[in-house]
Structure 1
Amino acid sequence: MPADNLAAEPRAVSAGRPTERSGLHLALRIFVTLQTAAILFQGVTAGQLLNGTDSMKDVHATGSAAVHLTALVQLVLAILWWRPGRGAGWPALVSLLIALLGFVQSAVGGSHNLAVHVPLGMTLLGVSAAFLVWAWSPRSAARPGHT
């Protein structure tokens, strides 16, 4: 196999015809990864805040903007993966759920309701991590519309 083909992604089959994994699929994978990393970063800064490091308050607030931005881009990519791309629709629903929970999370955090904010953040990280596992699994592109 030529060296330039080593970087090529494997071929997937959809409706009996081979298709290449698209740049859209790669972009979705990247933003699911960035989204999960942003949520994990929020957990780290939240832990420092709970430990009394008040200087992390602005960092935590800025991190929420990163969570929202990556969630919205991820949602757009998941919709494009689904509708014109003929991929499965559930990633768009999961992305919508993550985006909505992120905004609820910010509102609850802004009201200083830690009894809801902390468990909701853990839930958000769990959903995002599960989505990340799917996004990087071979099944995510193996049979668009059926994964």
Structure 2
Amino acid sequence: MSSPPAAPAPRWPLILLRVTATTLALLALLQAMLAGSFLNGTYDSLKDHEDNAMMLATVVVVQLVVAFFVRRPGGGPLWPLWSTALLTVAVIGQITAGYARSIGVHVTLGVLLVSGILFGLVGAWRLPLPVREGRYEGGPDGGGRLPRPGGPVEVKR
């Protein structure tokens, strides 16, 4: 006797993963811009760099919760959970190195963090979303497309 087929994974955790991954990528790129602005002599950017780091840390923790929901009820892949856990540890280390003024560690870890966040962004957007239930699948060709208004288009040569 075989077990019944598994229910499709819900869409909402994958959509939230895309939202948090996109937000993280934007915040990480803003972090790099604020660091560059500070190094160019705009010293007020350091406070903005710190505030943005706190927002980034908050979003990475939110993404950790979202990645859990991608895995557990949805039966999705495991990599978002592990990669986000690693990013969470790296962000904590990055903030610690920043407050300790350990610039060599801070800059190196910052480059690695931005790279990891961007890889996570690409991975989140490459995960296929399950098809919604109850979608219109009809149409004249059965593919869910409606005919063009005015009938088919003819091309004269």
TM-score by length of 1: 0.80
Q: Counterpart of 1:141 in structure 2: which amino acid?
A: P
Aligned to 2:15: 26
Segments ≥4 residues shifted beyond 6 Å: 15-18
CA contact (8 A) 1:21 1:141 kept: no
Shift of 1:20: 6.8
CA contact (8 A) 2:9 2:76 kept: no
Query: Aligned Cα RMSD in Å?
Result: 1.9
Which residue of the other structure, out of 101, 109, 124, is the alignment partner of 1:112?
Answer: 101
- In the alignment, structure 2 segments of 5+ residues that lack a partner are 131-157
Aligned partners of 1:68 and 1:123: how far apart in 2?
15
Question: Would you say how many aligned residue pairs link Structure 1 and Structure 2?
Answer: 127
Q: Do structure 1's residue 74 and structure 2's residue 63 form an aligned pair?
A: yes
Structure number having the greater helix percentage? 1
1:72-92 residue CA offsets vs partner (Å, 9 max, x unmatched): 000000011111211111110
Query: Matched residue of 2:44: which SS?
Result: helix
CA contact (8 A) 2:9 2:74 kept: no
Which residue of the other structure, out of 51, 69, 73, is the alignment partner of 2:40?
Answer: 51
- In the alignment, structure 1 segments of 5+ residues that lack a partner are 1-14
Structure number having the greater strand percentage? 1
Aligned partners of 1:51 and 1:102: how far apart in 2?
24
Bigger Rg, structure 1 or 2: 2
1:12-47 residue CA offsets vs partner (Å, 9 max, x unmatched): xxx967847611110110001101111111111011
Query: Matched residue of 1:131: which SS?
Result: helix
Aligned partners of 2:108 and 2:9: how far apart in 1?
40
TM-score by length of 2: 0.75
Q: Do structure 1's residue 96 and structure 2's residue 82 form an aligned pair?
A: no
1:122-143 residue CA offsets vs partner (Å, 9 max, x unmatched): 1000011011111111xx1369
Identity %: 28
